Every structure is written in C-alpha cells, then in structure tokens.
C-alpha cells in the first residue's frame, strides 16, 4: 500500500558527469503529490540536466530516481512518458511543418506507442477530441490548422505545453516555459498553468522570473553548480543569503 506521505518522485544522490564536467553533484529532493515545485538557480546550475536525467533523455552517472516507490532511474524516456512523466523543452521543439493540432496528436501517439510507430492511426476520435480540448485550454483552438512554424513565440510555448499534456501525464516538468515572453504572455501562461494544475499530480516549473515563480510555486528548490543549496517556501528562500548570492546576484549581473 502506498503511504499517504510517499513522494510522487524521490531523487537521491543524483550525479551526472559530462566528461570532466559535473553537471549534477549529489542532488536529492522529493516532489510531493499535489505540489507545484519551482526549480530555480543561475544559468548552468544543472536545472535542465536534472529534468533531462529524470525524463530519461540523459542517463544518470550515479544515484536513483523513484516514482511512487519504484526505481525508474534507468528507464528510457518513452517508458517514463507511459508512466506519466512529461516535460517541455527549454528550446522549443515543435514540428514546424505540421499543424498545431497535428503536433498535439503526434505527442499523444508517442505516449501510447513506441516513438513514431503508427503515428496517425485511423479512427482515433477520442484522441482528436482530447487534442482539441487541450488546444482550447491553452487558447490555441483558433490556430488548430495553422502550421506550428508560423506561431508567435508565446503561442509556440503554449503549444509545447499542450503537447506535453497529451496522454494525461501525472508529473509535468516545464523548463522555462516563460522564457522570452512579455508580461502579458507571462500572465496568460500563469493562468494556463493554474487551469491544468488540478489534472496533474505535480508540476515542476523552472523559471527565472522571481515574481512569476514566487506567485505560482508552493515550494522552491534552488540549485547552484549542480547542487541543491536551499529549499523552502518562496518568501523564505528569497530571504536566504546563499540564494541571494548565488541566484539573484548572478541574475542582476546578467540581465
């Protein structure tokens, strides 16, 4: 039986090396059922590498990842997707010459079957209705027949989210979904994230905008140089001198 307190995802001593470079250095934290967890840290902290390891894009060098108590560390990404772990990419990855709707349908098929096997099976009316519903929810239904390559930046980011939601994941990682957005697009994105939150067991949001991440997150995990340096409520984390030094200091210099 699953104890009530069992985390959705448990990351333990995760390590990722790229030749000489240590991108993840003993990362451990839990993702609790129901939470929206903000993952922050300066450029190069290891946030995207963490998502890539957890979602099976990169293999871990050492350490474990458990999903509801089962070890999933070595599973390939399509099996993780079937278990309900989905993610968006920091660099938008859409099929530019497919329509908006097709981009969602393709993703759905990838959850149901091995990648690119029978992508457009006939008679998939449920998939179509589900895909249209997702496009409705991210406010892209009117663009359903437009080529994805013609979308404005904020729209493309929302389509990425719709695609990640196809197939009904339980845990969703959003890797800088607001990057490059203006204030209005960010607020639209925040509304979209809030709207689908009840349908998911947990969301991990990577975001540099302090106001946006504080507004949306129940809890923050702060990384720097491949390590977790702080966790806690946004208001406490941003008052932590280590975080101010590692994160805010760098952000102010960069931006």
Ligand X SMILES: Nc1ncnc2c1ncn2[C@@H]1O[C@H](COP(=O)(O)OP(=O)(O)OP(=O)(O)O)[C@@H](O)[C@H]1O
Q: Which stretch binds ligand X (CB under 6 A): 16-24, 94-102, 132-140, 239-247?
A: 16-24
Shortest Å distance, C-beta 158 to ligand X? 20
DSSP single-letter state for residue 205: E
CA angle 82, 86, 92 (to 5 degrees): 135
Supply the angle between the helices 183-196 and 153-165 in degrees, to the nearest 10.
10
User: Is position 163 an interface residue for ligand X (rule: CB under 6 A)?
Assistant: no
**Overall size of the chain counted in residues:** 255
User: Is position 77 an interface residue for ligand X (rule: CB under 6 A)?
Assistant: no
User: Is position 41 an interface residue for ligand X (rule: CB under 6 A)?
Assistant: yes
User: Is position 49 an interface residue for ligand X (rule: CB under 6 A)?
Assistant: yes
Query: Closest Cα partner for 206 from 196, 193, 188?
Result: 193
Contact 67, 86 (CB under 8 A): no
| Beta carbons within 8 Å of 135's beta carbon, 6+ residues apart | 100, 101, 104, 141, 143, 144, 162
User: Is position 48 an interface residue for Mg ion (rule: CB under 5 A)?
Assistant: yes
Q: Where are the alpha helices (DSSP H) in 15-97?
A: 47-54, 77-83
β-pairing, 36-40 vs 62-67, is unpaired
Residue nearer to ligand X on the CB measure, 98 or 179: 179
Residue nearer to ligand X on the CB measure, 66 or 90: 90
The footprint of ligand X on residues 81-110 (CB under 6 A) is: 90
- The site string for Mg ion over 87-116 (x = CB under 5 A, - otherwise) reads ---x--------------------------
> With CB under 6 A, what is the number of residues at the site for ligand X?
12
User: Is position 113 an interface residue for ligand X (rule: CB under 6 A)?
Assistant: no
Quick one: what does residue 41 bind among ligand X, Mg ion, none, with the CB cut-off 5 to 8 Å set by partner type?
Answer: ligand X
| Beta carbons within 8 Å of 220's beta carbon, 6+ residues apart | 37, 38, 39, 40, 213, 230, 231, 232, 233, 234, 237
Q: Which stretch binds ligand X (CB under 6 A): 45-53, 73-81, 190-198, 232-240?
A: 45-53
* Helix (H) / strand (E) containing 196: helix 183-196
Q: Which stretch binds ligand X (CB under 6 A): 15-23, 28-36, 156-164, 181-189?
A: 15-23
Residue nearer to Mg ion on the CB measure, 5 or 43: 43
User: Is position 221 an interface residue for ligand X (rule: CB under 6 A)?
Assistant: no
Tell me how crowded residue 221 is: count the other CB atoms within 10 A of its CB. 25
Where do contacts with Mg ion occur on this chain (CB under 5 A)?
47-48, 90
Where do contacts with ligand X occur on this chain (CB under 6 A)?
18, 21, 23, 41, 43-49, 90
């Amino acid at each position: 039986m699953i104890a009530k307190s069992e985390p959705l995802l448990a990351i333990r001593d995760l390590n990722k090396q790229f030749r000489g470079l240590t991108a993840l250095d003993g990362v451990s934290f839990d993702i609790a059922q129901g939470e929206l967890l903000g993952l922050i840290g300066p450029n190069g902290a290891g946030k995207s590498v963490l998502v890539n390891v957890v979602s099976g894009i990169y293999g871990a060098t050492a350490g474990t990842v458990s999903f509801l108590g089962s070890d999933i560390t070595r599973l390939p990404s399509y099996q993780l997707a079937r278990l309900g772990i989905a993610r968006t990419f920091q660099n938008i990855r859409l099929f530019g010459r497919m329509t908006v709707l097709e981009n969602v349908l393709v993703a759905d098929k990838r959850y149901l079957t091995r990648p690119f096997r029978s992508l457009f099976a006939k008679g998939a009316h449920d998939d179509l209705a589900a895909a249209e519903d997702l496009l409705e929810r991210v406010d892209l239904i009117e663009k359903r027949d437009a080529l994805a390559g013609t979308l404005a930046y904020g729209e493309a980011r929302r389509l990425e989210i719709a695609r990640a939601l196809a197939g009904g994941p339980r845990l969703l990682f959003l890797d800088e979904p607001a990057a490059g957005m203006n204030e209005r697009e960010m607020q639209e994105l925040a509304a979209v994230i809030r709207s689908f939150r009840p349908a998911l067991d947990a969301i991990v949001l990577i975001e540099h905008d302090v106001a946006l991440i504080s507004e949306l997150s129940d809890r923050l995990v702060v990384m720097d140089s491949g390590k977790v340096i702080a966790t806690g409520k946004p208001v406490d984390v941003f008052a932590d001198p280590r975080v101010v030094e590692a994160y805010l200091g760098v952000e102010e210099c960069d931006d």
